DNA sequence: TGGGTGACGACGC
DNA sequence: AGCGTCGCCACCC
């Protein structure tokens, strides 16, 4: 009895061999991936993914390559074959629950590394305000610095900066546009308009069953008016009610 | 070096 | 309630 499946050519260590080869020549490579927002150029080096850009925004591949060179000082060429990094990245783009992917932080500043590390901890279905991330990074880091870093994120989706939101409204300023951010969050089970409704009512936290959450904790904002849920306007209100902080959305700075 | 600017947030009217 | 102002910090000339 032989295999029903045609024998697949054994993959030589080739893909990763070419990675080393291209790294030696000093060329990064790109392919096209697809995500909720549509097709993206996916660029990578031997260190990890270095670019994710909407093809719709860049048009021709030449334009993407120019943008890449301008930004990194490195040349990028179309990939003939995919290596481990590229395959993992394509999987992650298609499905945010797939395994994490190495990201090329070669050009990142210390602040960028810190911010990106925090952002990568935010799971799908959740979002955290700039302000909380800034506080977690300690004195000297402001919400504005955090936002500044996110604007420059060359690897959206893989560093999920769409999960970082503002205090005064859920979505705003996302690299791929506010609509894209809403779409991404919605696809992950978080309803940005429900969050906005909570914010408009002055609620910074939502109480349920002895716990308190951020309005961006999963789908909690949708249930705000359901029995058992209540909006809270300040930490003082939270304390007065003796609530415990939700461990999933972590409404207090780490 | 210094001044302008930004996905920010807090306060005051 | 909305708007202007101001402190904040990082980055770009």
pLDDT digits (tens, 9 = 90+) for A55-106: 999 889 999 999 999 999 999 999 999 999 999 999 999 999 999 999 999 9
Residue A210 lies in a domain: yes
Percent share of chain A, pLDDT over 70: 94
> How many domains does chain A divide into?
3
Distance A142 CA to B3 C1' (A): 20
Q: Note the CA–C1' distance, A205 to B11, in angstroms.
A: 21
Taking only the tens place, the pLDDT of each residue in A228-250 is: 999 999 999 999 999 999 999 99
CA atoms within 13 A on the CB side of A123: 9
pLDDT at A171 over 50: yes
Q: Which residue is nearest to nucleotide B7 (CA to C1')?
A: A173
- The integer distance in angstroms from the CA atom of A103 to the C1' atom of C9 is 26
Q: What is the pLDDT of residue A103?
A: 98
Whether A21 and A41 map to the same domain: the answer is: yes
A89, A159: one domain = no
Which stretch of DSSP H or E encloses residue A115? Answer: helix A110-120
* Of A68, A94, A120, the domain-final residue: A94
The DSSP element (H or E) to which A31 belongs, if any, is strand A27-35
* Dihedral angle over CA of A127, A148, A68, A59, nearest 10: 60
Please list the residues that pair with A53 across neighbouring strands: A41
- Distance (Å, whole) CA A180 – CA A187: 10
Other Cβ atoms closer than 10 A to A194: 18
Contact flag, residue A165 CB and nucleic strand B, below 7 A = yes
Containing structural domain, residue A234: 195-245
For A125-156, write each residue's pLDDT tens digit. 999 999 999 999 998 999 999 999 999 999 99
pTM of the model: 0.93
Both A68 and A133 in a single domain? no
Contact, A114 vs A55, CB < 8 A?
A: no
Which of A143, A166, A190 represents a domain boundary (last residue)?
A190
Q: How far apart are the C-alpha atoms of A214 and A1, rounded to whole Å? A: 58
CATH code of A123's domain: 1.10.10.10
Query: What average pLDDT does range A166-187 have in this prediction?
Result: 96
Verify that A182 and A217 share a domain, yes or no.
Answer: no
């Amino acid at each position: 009895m032989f295999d029903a499946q045609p024998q697949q050519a054994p993959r030589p260590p080739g893909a990763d061999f070419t990675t080393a080869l291209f790294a030696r020549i000093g060329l990064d490579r790109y392919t096209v991936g697809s995500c909720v927002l549509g097709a993206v150029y996916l660029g990578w080096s031997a260190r990890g993914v270095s670019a994710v850009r909407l093809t719709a925004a860049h048009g021709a591949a030449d334009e993407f390559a120019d943008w890449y060179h301008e930004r990194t000082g490195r040349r990028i060429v179309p990939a003939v074959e995919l290596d481990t990094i590229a395959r993992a990245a394509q999987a992650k783009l298609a499905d945010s629950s797939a395994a994490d992917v190495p990201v090329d932080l070669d050009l990142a500043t210390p602040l960028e590394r810190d911010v990106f590390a925090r952002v990568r901890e935010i799971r799908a279905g959740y979002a955290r305000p700039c302000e909380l991330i800034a506080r977690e990074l300690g004195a000297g880091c402001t919400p504005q610095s955090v936002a500044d870093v996110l604007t420059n994120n060359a690897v959206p989706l893989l560093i999920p900066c769409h999960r970082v939101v503002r205090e005064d409204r859920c979505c705003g300023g996302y690299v791929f546009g506010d609509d894209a951010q809403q779409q991404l969050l919605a696809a992950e089970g978080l309803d940005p308009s429900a969050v906005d409704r909570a914010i408009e009512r002055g609620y910074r936290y939502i109480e349920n069953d002895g716990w308190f959450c951020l309005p961006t904790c999963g789908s909690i904002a949708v249930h705000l008016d359901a029995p058992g849920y209540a909006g809270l306007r300040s930490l003082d209100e939270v304390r007065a009610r003796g609530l415990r902080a939700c461990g999933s959305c972590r409404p207090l700075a780490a």
